[in-house]
Amino acid sequence: MKQNEFDSLIDLLVESVKDYNLDDSFDHYNAIVEICGNCNYCFEYYRAWQLVNFVRFDMYDNGAKLNLFDEVEMEVKDNGYNTDDVNLDNYMLSYAFNILKVATLKKYESQVKEEVA
């Protein structure tokens, strides 16, 4: 995976939120969780590994205190994922889902702020 592929994927996921009928009971966060959970990077091992490896080793937020992988790693650990019964492939699926969720959420909320301003 390359940076432009990752950016295009996140843009596509953000655009998908517009297809949802958002209200108080089903907001943008719920839509993003559903959209990202249905993305093939979250259930195909090969794609999940590609995504996680790219974000971990090739993607850097220039000068940022916390890069995307570090943020996702903290979120996965904070959510109390029990790794005793989970194989490495399934762990990567969890990381891939959270990478997509965090990146899509950030981009969506950034676009909403720009539209409001």
pLDDT of res. 65: 53
Cα–Cα distance between 16 and 19 in angstroms, integer? 5
pLDDT of res. 12: 97
34's tokens = 């559903």
Cα–Cα distance between 72 and 90 in angstroms, integer? 15
pLDDT of res. 97: 95
pLDDT, tens digit (0-9, with 9 covering 90-100), for 46-68: 999 999 999 888 876 655 556 88
pLDDT of res. 38: 95
pLDDT of res. 67: 83
pLDDT of res. 80: 60
Letter string b/e over residues 57-95, b meaning 16 or more CB atoms within 10 A of that residue's CB: eebeeeeeeeebbebbbebbeeeeeeeeeeeeeeebbbb
pLDDT of res. 83: 58
pTM higher than 0.75: yes
Regions in the chain scoring below 70 on pLDDT: 60-66, 79-86
What's the N-to-C CA distance of the chain in angstroms? Answer: 33
Nearest to 97 by CA among 52, 44, 36: 36
